[in-house]
Amino acid sequence: MLDIELDEQLMEIDDLDGFQFEKYIGQLLKKIGFVNVIVTKGSGDFGADVIAEKDNIKYAFQCKRFNSVIGPKPIGEVLRGM
């Protein structure tokens, strides 16, 4: 039963567009204790989709949903965002 619920949840996540997925990740981060969670607007964010803090450390997250190898482009975006 639990597996069926999880499968349904994952299918719902797969139906989200990019920005909805980023907002979902922001909500998950809040649930696990991150604070000051900000989902960026998309332009001028230096590759960071979500910025959040935990234990006085600021983190930048880049959210990707791929079902294949992502290649170097998203990795380069993350590195430039640093």
Per-residue pLDDT tens, the chain, 82 aa: give them.
Answer: 456 688 888 888 888 888 899 999 999 999 999 999 999 886 555 668 899 999 999 998 888 777 778 788 877 777 776 6
pLDDT at 1: 45
The alpha-helical segments, DSSP class H, found in the chain are 2-14, 18-31, 72-81
pLDDT at 6: 83
**This prediction's pTM:** 0.76
| Long-range CB contacts (within 8 A, 24+) of 33-40 | 34/59
List CB contacts of 21: < 8 A, sequence separation 6 or more: 13, 63, 65
State how far the Cα of 45 lies from the Cα of 25, in Å rounded to an integer.
Answer: 16
pLDDT at 81: 67
